[in-house]
Structures are given as structure tokens and as C-alpha cells.
Amino acid sequence: MNWEHHAAALAERVTDPDSRWRDAVAGVPRHILVPNWWERGPEGWTLYRGEDDPQRWAQVAYGAESAVTSVGGQHADHAAPDDHPTGRPTSSATLAALVVKMLRHGRIGDGHDVLDVGTGAGGLTAHLARRIGDRHVTSVDVDPYLVDAARLRLAALGLRPACEAVDATGPLPGTYDRIVSTVGVRPVPTSWLAALRPGGRLVTTIRDTALILTAWKTPDGGARGVVERDWAGFMGTRHGADYPPGPVEAFEAAREADGEEVSTGRYPVADVRDGWEVWSFLSVSVPGIEYDYEECGGRRTAYLVHPDGSWARAEAARFEPPTVHQGGPRRLWSELESVRTRLLVEGGLPLYGCDATVRPDGTIHLSRGRWEATVT
């Protein structure tokens, strides 16, 4: 593979001509870090091996999408061609454009010691080590195999940052000028605040949202910053090989039950996960809410569930008002419709650009004008 050509084209696409990250992106053969991956198809998750299709390999490694490398805790490196794992993705090789975005928000300079939270395939670690030198880079992940594989593959590229297998919500190995996370957290782990040096900067996403939080360490042990006028979405932190089971019973009810309340919805059914501002605001307002969506035969169906047993199902053709079934202690579809109404009435939602204060216990307080919310 002529990886230099692909890497140079990628660098040109995702960085500005004068970007400090351009040479770092152009200098990393990313395909070495992603030899195998999963793609979702008609039979579920299907294994792809780069060596079997070099052209597809180049498209995945240097393309515009993240490549899922582990599903339900099963690594693509360990899979057989006829394996079709079930469950949620648990690791991926993040697309370079998103990696560069998070690094830019880090405001990383020469001499800074940086912690990369969420090693994954090692892409961000590689670009960071190329830019500031591997002795200034530490990368951590909860998955020991990912850490070992990344360490070996990075070493093959001549890069030897510190890579350690730790649960990032617990104690961290050292102190740092910058912490850049490609996993979502909610709240900010207190260990991150303890590991951040005075005047240091934190960059992460708030779990279950598309909100990028940037904050500077404050003397009280917390941090103060903003929700950037930008967006990104990552998997959330976990404590083992896989995530715990979701609210299965609530989803079953949402798919089958008649509901305690049946009504006609105000707005057409849409996949609100594609409307990042709406979904993020709903997730902040109703912590723990989960969503699913499907299209079949010209009809759209959306499902909302919550760990408290609440659920909602809305179904309609594209532009029709939906029939909405809801059950449990709260009306989740009504919560969503109130967010969509606020967006239309006010022309926007008060999340992006809002002030953010991270208290020493990790709680995130958001505020803008008369609106405020606390993320725990």
C-alpha cells in the first residue's frame, strides 16, 4: 500500500495548510493500527481483514468514518470470518478529522505532558507522539488487549509513548498539563482533576451527548470553561470488557405494549440522534434516556426508554403526525417534543457556547442566560 499518498491526502483534507498537526497526520501509517475491523451488514456485524482487500483497507484507515474494532468485547483481531458478535461497539479507530478536532481543542504546546484517555487503536496517540514527542505522551485504556496491541503497533512505527491499562475513572498514572479524552464521561472523574496540573486544560465529551467540554484547572481543584460551539460523539467510559446490559425490558415494552397513554404527536418522527443539539439537550434534561429508530416500508418508528421504566413509541410515515404510545412514570415523547418546540420558538438551544464549571467532585454545572443544568 502506498500509505504515504493516502496519509498526505488525509492530512490535506483534515488540517489547514499552516496547521501544526499536518505533518503529524501525514507521517502516520494509520492502516498499521487498524489491520482488522467490524462493519454492520445484513447479517449483523461482519469481520473485515485489511490484507484481504487493500483498497478497502485504505478507505477505512484514511477515510471519513470511524472503524469499529471491538463489539460486545470481541476484538476483530481475534475473530473468525464467520463470527457475528452482538452487542454494542466497545472500541473503534476514530476518524482522523475528529482526532485533530480534539487535539486542537487541547491547545497543546511543545513541552506539555499530555494524557490521552481512550487508547483504542492508537491513532490519537500516534499523532500526538509525532507532534510533541513520545516522552510527553501517556495513553490509557480500560482494555488490556487494546493497550498491548497499540503499544506494539506504535513501536513498529518508531513511537514509544507510555501505554497503560487502567480504568480511567479511577487513579491515573501521573500528572499532566493536558488531558484529552476520546471517551465520554458523566460526571468528570475526580481522578482527572487530581491529575491535571495547576493551569492545565481538560478536553472531553459529556457522555450520551455531542457536547465537547473544555475547561482550565482552577485553584479550588475544579475547572472552568465552556461547551464548545463544535460537536463530537464518543463511546462512554466502561469498567470492563463490555458495557452492562441496557434497559431491555423497557425496550421490549416500547416495541410491543399499547401504552398507558396514546396520543397524536406534534412533530414527524425523526432519528434525533442525527440532530445532535436536540439529542444532547434531551440527554442533559433527562439523564439516562436511550433511543432507537428504524425505517421499514416507508414508515418510521422511534423508541425512547429510561431506566426508571418509562418508555415511548412513535410511528408514522415521513411527514405524518405520529401515533405515540407512552408508559411508565414519565412521558418521554412529551419531553422530546418540548425540546423540539423550544428549538423552534427560540431558534436554538442554550447548550453550545454555554459556560461550564466543573466542581471538585466532578459535577458539571452548565449555564447560559437564565438557563442552567447540572450534569452528575
C-alpha triplet 338, 278, 311: angle, nearest 5°: 60
What does the alpha-carbon distance between residue 192 and residue 45 come to, in Å, rounded to a whole number? 34
Expressed in percent and rounded to 5, the helix, strand and coil fractions of the chain are 30, 30, 40
Q: What is the dihedral of CA 29, 25, 215, 230, to 10 degrees?
A: -110
What count of Cα atoms within 13 Å lies in the side-chain half-sphere of residue 10? 31
CB of 167 within 8 A of CB of 139?
no
CA-wise closest residue to 355 among 230, 207, 228: 228
pLDDT of the residue at 8: 98
Distance CA 183, CA 101 (A): 14
Name residue 236's beta-bridge partners. Answer: 184
- 233's CB contacts (< 8 A; 6+ apart) are 184, 205, 209, 210, 276
User: Cβ distance 142 to 166 under 8 Å?
Assistant: yes
Q: What pLDDT shows up at residue 165?
A: 98
Residue 121 has phi, psi (to 5 degrees) of -80, -15
pLDDT of residue 250: 82
Whether 336 contacts 349, CB under 8 Å: no
Which CATH homologous superfamily contains domain 248-346? Answer: Bacterial toxin RNase RnlA/LsoA, N repeated domain (3.30.160.690)
The predicted pLDDT at position 271 comes to 95
Domain boundaries, the chain: 3-231, 248-346
Determine the pLDDT at residue 301: 97
Q: Do domains 3-231 and 248-346 have the same CATH topology?
A: no
pTM across the whole model: 0.95
pLDDT computed for residue 114 by the predictor = 98
Encode the chain (376 residues) as per-residue pLDDT tens digits. Answer: 899 999 999 999 999 999 999 999 999 999 999 999 999 988 899 999 999 999 999 999 999 999 999 999 999 999 999 999 998 999 999 999 999 999 999 999 999 999 999 999 999 999 999 999 999 999 999 999 999 999 999 999 999 999 999 999 999 999 999 999 999 999 999 999 999 999 999 999 999 999 999 999 999 999 999 999 999 999 999 999 899 887 777 888 899 899 899 999 999 999 999 999 999 999 999 999 999 999 999 999 999 999 999 999 999 998 999 999 999 999 999 999 999 999 999 999 999 999 999 999 999 999 999 999 999 9
Q: What is the pLDDT of residue 253?
A: 86
Angle between helical axes of 276-285 and 332-346 (0-180°, round to 10)? 130
Amino acid symbol at 128: L
Cβ of 125: how many Cβ atoms within 10 Å? 31
Helices assigned H by DSSP within 88-213: 96-106, 123-132, 144-156, 190-195
Res 42: pLDDT: 83
The residues with which 44 forms a beta bridge, in sequence order, are: 41
pLDDT for the residue 119: 97
Helix (H, G, I), strand (E, B) or coil at 112: coil
pLDDT at position 210 is 96
- The CATH class given to the 3-231 domain equals alpha beta
